[in-house]
Structure 1
Amino acid sequence: MTAYVIFIREKTLDQREMDIYAEKVPSTLPSVPIQMLSAYGRLEVFEGNTPEGVVLFAFPTVEDAKAWYFSEAYQSVAKHRHAGATYRGFVVEGVTG
């Protein structure tokens, strides 16, 4: 079942670290067919605080999403995102339909 990985950037702390992350993250994307559905596009908030931006990926399964996120390749790059901004990140399973 399709799984969606969502990253919500709340606040940038160090743009240099974010630039390093942006440069290196494509090399961590797995060989499984994933889709980037949105990356810091137009955002209108219906409820709650407005984040700086949102990224949305679709993976074939939750297991595929977790395998990518917890991989050594991604975690070695994610340290730059962690140093560069405050984020919330999670995976959510889609519905069958």
Structure 2
Amino acid sequence: MSAYAVGHLRAAAQHEDIFAYMERIQDTLDPFAGHFLVHGSEVEVLEGEWPGYLVVIGFPDLDKARAWYDSDAYREILPLRTRHITGDVVLADGVAPGYAAADTAARARQQAG
């Protein structure tokens, strides 16, 4: 099942480290079949607040996503970003093909009894 690394990154001043991080990140993703789905896009806020930018990286599964984040290659470049940009990064499983929220609601309703 697909998995995703999702980053909510706050705006920061441009810095040479950020440029180097962006130039090098794809090489860290390739061994894990990671690919950008959203990269640094400003979002259209419909509810609440969202200061900053969105990054979404897709992986074949959660194990590959974790292995990428924990890889020596990514750990080497990570400080280039974290020294200059604050934010939140999470890993999450996607849903299986044919997923229906109504089915999940029915199971939850049954469990709630």
Q: What is the TM-score normalised by the length of structure 1?
A: 0.86
Aligned residues: 97
**How far is the alpha carbon of 1:13 from its aligned partner?**
5.3
Instruction: Report the residue type matching 1:8 in the other structure.
Output: H
> Is contact 2:42-2:52 (8 Å) kept?
no
* Runs of 4 or more consecutive aligned structure 1 residues displaced over 3 Å after TM superposition: none
- State whether structure 2 residue 92 is matched by structure 1 residue 89: no
Q: Give the 5 Å matches for 1:12-27.
A: 12=12, 15-27=15-27
**1:16-63 CA deviation, whole Å, 9 max, x = no partner?**
321121122122113233331111234101233223211111101111
Identity in percent? 29
Unaligned runs of at least 5 residues, structure 2: 99-113
Question: 1:48 is paired with a residue of what secondary structure?
Answer: coil
Question: 1:81 is paired with a residue of what secondary structure?
Answer: helix
Kindly indicate which of the two structures has a greater share of residues assigned to helix: 2
Aligned residue in 2 for 1:64: 64
Shift in CA distance, 29/58, structure 1 to aligned 2, threshold 3 Å? same
Structure with the bigger RCO (C-alpha within 8 Å, sep 6+) is 1
> Is contact 1:5-1:58 (8 Å) kept?
yes
Q: What is the TM-score normalised by the length of structure 2?
A: 0.75
> Is contact 1:14-1:83 (8 Å) kept?
no
What is the alpha-carbon root mean square deviation over aligned residues? 1.7
